[in-house]
A and B are shown apart, each in its own frame.
Chain A
Amino acid sequence: QKEVEQDPGPLSVPEGAIVSLNCTYSNSAFQYFMWYRQYSRKGPELLMYTYSSGNKEDGRFTAQVDKSSKYISLFIRDSQPSDSATYLCAMIHGSGNTGKLIFGQGTTLQVKP
């Protein structure tokens, strides 16, 4: 079993829809959770990071962590065609805020105009 599980999709939605992307994990020691966006043939770029449980909002993006369920989510409101990309969740393995980054497989999102 992988430490971080993420449905690869693809996920296709119409423009303006609310998108929900999710990851589950098995290691209860994970403390820092991140979401990356990767456009085709580019390196991943950091979207948001969250420490421990709770919500964090940044513009149209909301990251949610439920440590009791070992489940994290990224919500995108009013989705745009420019949001079409692969979204990867990542978690830090180890104590503190630096350590090996473990990634999910990534979910491919397509937002249709």
Chain B
Amino acid sequence: GAGVSQSPSNKVTEKGKDVELRCDPISGHTALYWYRQRLGQGLEFLIYFQGNSAPDKSGLPSDRFSAERTGESVSTLTIQRTQQEDSAVYLCASSSPGPVGAFFGQGTRLTVV
């Protein structure tokens, strides 16, 4: 596709449920990032995939959070046993090896009730 695509765009879930968020990067982009943005806050780094290298998971806030990416394609961010504090917009971005920065999707707005 032309840009980074994220689904769903909105998700309301009950506390304690698991959720899966999906990101389709721009074709050919080897790097993929996940960020969390709480209301009125900046972007909090979660995880970074670069090609076939081991992902940088240093930003995952707890073991309830995990992410996978197969090759240079789709990535899934999973949050288990969701808590109200997980409510935020989850943003995915991808970039090519060139020095042009990352391109973001529109985000998934997660609300835990």
Binding site for B on A (CB under 8 A): 6, 32, 34, 36, 42-46, 49, 51, 88, 90, 97-106
What mask results when residues 92 to 112 of chain B are scored 1 for a CB within 8 Å of chain A, else 0?
010101111111111100000
A90 touches B99 (CB 8 A): no
Contact present for A105 and B104 (CB under 8 Å): no
Question: Are A102 and B45 in contact (CB-based, < 8 A)?
Answer: yes
Residues of chain B with a CB closer than 8 A to A46's CB: 100-103
User: Are A32 and B91 in contact, CB atoms less than 8 angstroms apart?
Assistant: no
Q: Find the residue from B4, B41, B101, B107 having the highest chain A CB count within 10 A.
A: B101
Q: How many contacts between A and B, using CB within 8 angstroms?
A: 61
Question: CB within 8 A of A43: which of B91, B95, B99?
Answer: B91
CB-contact partner of B42 in A42, A88, A100, under 8 A: A88
Q: Which residues of A contact B4 (CB under 8 A)?
A: 43
If A42-B106, A43-B105 touch, does A101 touch B100 (CB 8 Å cutoff)?
no
